[in-house]
Amino acid sequence: MLKKLLLLIVLISFNILTMAPLGRIFADTQTSQIRQINSEMANVNNKIEQIEDEIKKLSSQIAETAEEKRTLSSAIHQLNLTRNQLLKEKELIQNKIKITEHTISDISSQIGDKEKIIQISKDSLASLIRTLNQTDNISVIEKILTVDNISEVSRHYNNILSINEKIKSKIDTLSDEKYKLKIDKIKKEDEQENLNRLKNNLVQKEQAVNVTKKEKDELLKETEGKEATYQKMLAEQLKQKDAFEKELQEYESQLKFILNPKTIPKAGSEVLSWPLDYILITSVFGARWGRTHYGVDFRASVGTPVKSVYSGTVEGIGDTDKDCYKASFGKWVFIRHPNGLASTYGHLSVISVKVGQKVKAGDIIGLSGNTGYSTGPHLHLSVYASDGVNVETKPSVTCPGKIFTQPIAATDAHLDPLLYLPKTNPSMFKN
């Protein structure tokens, strides 16, 4: 009986030991699969790094372009960069999702591996128990009572119990590992869900950018069409203005006038005051655009109060736009001064004085505007030798069938206003 019992122990031990090679074969298969997954993950990670570098570059370009968003073209460029960034971010998220899917697959394989090993261990334990219970249908107590050497039986029985405890411990360990793997899998599945949600948000942003870009493209196309129209209108206005100025200059050049320096203030005398509270000179007296600019231009937003530069009498007011649109002063005021000078204030939006009205230096005579030929709101100031200028009404050659009324001066009667205004400094001139 003792020999049978010893034989039984040897057989059980052999079965348990032979489980190991099978487990290794299964583990080797799983290891190969895991290596393949890790290799794919490494490739995707490299691609993710490249995409992240491209995103950084695009983000830098977007930041630089943000400073240039003053035109529709730059806005569209900005949208293109943003869209490209979203595409790259979407690609990045997609690759992270792929990594997560590989990880989940890896964890699932490991869980399956643990479950199979646990099952094998459970089967071995069950086999051991069945064998012990079924051997000769004799209980362990009976076997002990029938054996002469009790200590020998006890020793082998204890070995069996030890093997049993080891198998149970292994099963418990594997069960714990399986539980941890399941927790990791749940976390990865949550991560995958978050990544999918982020991907959907990026898709929505991309759609919004595409809609905005389409609108900007259409607006740009419309604006370009308007720009062409405006350019054509501007060319026509310039042509009309040039013709009108040429007409005036030809007429003024025919006027007979010899300037007597004794009849006007000395240059640099500063007898005139500034026509505006804030002074920024945008164009001076002299040659401009191939012609002579008979005056000084000041920046002045529409509605800025315009003041008389000296005391005098208002001898003329008018609006050239009524006769020859966008060809000359627009709304204007002409004042004759008692010091040998006269002055005209052009491109006004509102005239606040009447013909014959007496004014003092600093009195408000109107508000600045953008009437007549003007590329933007400003004030034009002309100064003349008083004896060489008059308000006249003449039929216009440039605008047939129309007459124009405005100050007309002999060529040499036009004076540089800055010769009589207060001293200037560099800050008063537009750069």
Of 14-28, 155-169, 279-293, least confident by mean pLDDT is: 14-28
Helix (H, G, I), strand (E, B) or coil at 365: strand
Residue 406's CB is within 10 A of a number of other CB atoms, namely 22
Would you say residue 243 lies in a domain?
A: yes
Q: Are residues 201 and 287 in the same domain?
A: no
Least confident segment among 36-45, 71-80, 252-261, 276-285: 36-45
The distance in angstroms from the start CA to the end CA of the chain is 118
Shared domain check, 303 and 404: yes
Instruction: Name every residue whose Cβ is closer than 8 Å to that of residue 372 and which is 6 or more positions away in sequence.
Output: 320, 321, 326, 327, 328, 329, 330, 331, 332, 346, 347
Which of 116-120, 134-138, 204-208 has the weakest average pLDDT? 134-138
Reading the block at residue 381, the tokens are: 């100031």
**Residue in 25, 186, 29 with CA at minimum distance from that of residue 109:** 29
Q: Which of 34, 17, 29 is nearest to 120 (CA)?
A: 17
CA angle 279, 283, 408 (to 5 degrees): 105
Four-residue CA torsion sign, 280, 287, 317, 409? positive
Q: How many CB atoms lie within 10 A of CB 189?
A: 15
Q: Are residues 245 and 218 in the same domain?
A: no
> Which range has the worst mean pLDDT, 118-122, 124-128, 331-335, 351-355?
124-128
Token output for 81: 């960069």
User: What is the Cα–Cα distance from 384 to 336, expressed in whole angstroms?
Assistant: 9
Which DSSP letter does residue 137 get?
A: G
- Total domains in the chain come to 2
Nearest to 392 by CA among 242, 251, 220, 219: 251
Q: Is residue 230 in a domain?
A: no
CA distance 207 to 13: 68
**Least confident segment among 177-191, 208-222, 274-288, 307-321:** 208-222
Verify that 188 and 334 share a domain, yes or no.
Answer: no
Under the banding of pLDDT at 50, 70 and 90, the label for residue 80 is confident
pLDDT for res 9: 45
- Does residue 231 belong to any structural domain of this protein? no
Residue that wins the pLDDT comparison between 207 and 75: 207
- What is the overall mean pLDDT for the chain? 75
Domain boundary (194, 225, 256) is at 225
Q: Residues 338, 386: contact at Cβ < 8 Å?
A: no
Q: pLDDT band for position 22 (50/70/90)?
A: very low
Burial class (CB in 10 A: 0-12, 13-18, 19+), 426: exposed
For 50-61, the DSSP string reads HHHHHHHHHHHH
> Do residues 166 and 243 both lie within one domain?
no
pLDDT of residue 154: 59
Taking 80 as the threshold, does the pLDDT of residue 356 lie above it?
Answer: yes
Tell whether 214 and 147 lie within a shared domain.
Answer: yes
Give pLDDT tens digits for 234-269: 566 566 666 766 777 676 777 778 889 999 999 999
Q: What is the pLDDT of residue 240?
A: 63
Helix or strand or coil: residue 404?
Answer: strand
pLDDT above 60 (res 57):
no
**Range list of H helices, 255-270:** none
pLDDT at 14: 45
The sign of the dihedral angle between the CA atoms of 315, 321, 324, 330 is positive
Predicted pLDDT of residue 152:
57
Whether residues 374 and 286 fall in one domain: yes
Question: Are 43 and 156 in the same domain?
Answer: yes
Where residue 58 falls among pLDDT bands split at 50, 70, 90? low
Percent of the chain having pLDDT more than 70?
61
Q: Is residue 123 part of a domain?
A: yes
- What mean pLDDT is predicted for residues 162-176? 72
Count of CA atoms in the C-beta half-sphere (13 A) of 146: 12
**Across 218-240, average pLDDT:** 61
What is the rounded distance in angstroms from the CA atom of residue 355 to the CA atom of residue 42?
A: 89
Instruction: Among 201, 225, 249, give the residue marking a domain's end.
Output: 225
Q: DSSP characters for 147-164? A: -S-HHHHHHHHHHHHHHH
In tens, the pLDDT along 376-403 reads 889 999 999 999 999 988 888 777 788 8
Contact at 8 Å (CB) between 29 and 167?
Answer: no
Residue 277 has pLDDT above 90, yes or no: yes
Do 261 and 193 share a domain, yes or no?
A: no
Structural domain includes residue 178: yes
Q: Are strands 378-385 and 364-368 parallel, antiparallel or unpaired?
A: unpaired
Asked whether residue 234 is assigned to any structural domain, the reply reads no
Question: What band does 429 get if pLDDT is binned at 50, 70 and 90?
Answer: very high
Asked if residue 166 is part of any domain, the answer here is: yes
Mean pLDDT of 90-110: 79
Strands (E) across 337-402 are located at 341-351, 358-359, 364-368, 378-385, 389-395
- Let me know whether 400 and 424 are in one domain: yes
Residue 407 has pLDDT above 90, yes or no: yes
pLDDT at 84 over 70: yes
C-alpha angle 393-395-401 in degrees, rounded to nearest 5: 135
259-272 burial by CB neighbour count: b if 16+ within 10 A, else e? Answer: beeeebbeeeeebb
Picking from 197, 225, 253, the residue at the C-terminal end of a domain is 225
Indicate whether 64 belongs to any domain.
Answer: yes
Q: State the pLDDT at residue 150.
A: 55
Instruction: Name the DSSP letter for residue 136.
Output: G
What is the span of the domain harbouring residue 269?
239-428
Q: What is the percent of the chain with per-residue pLDDT over 90, rounded to a whole number?
A: 27
Residue of 26 and 86 predicted with greater confidence:
86
Answer yes or no: is pLDDT of 1 > 50.
Answer: no
Q: Which of 19-23, 28-32, 39-43, 294-298 has the lowest mean pLDDT?
A: 19-23
- Write down the pTM of the prediction: 0.47
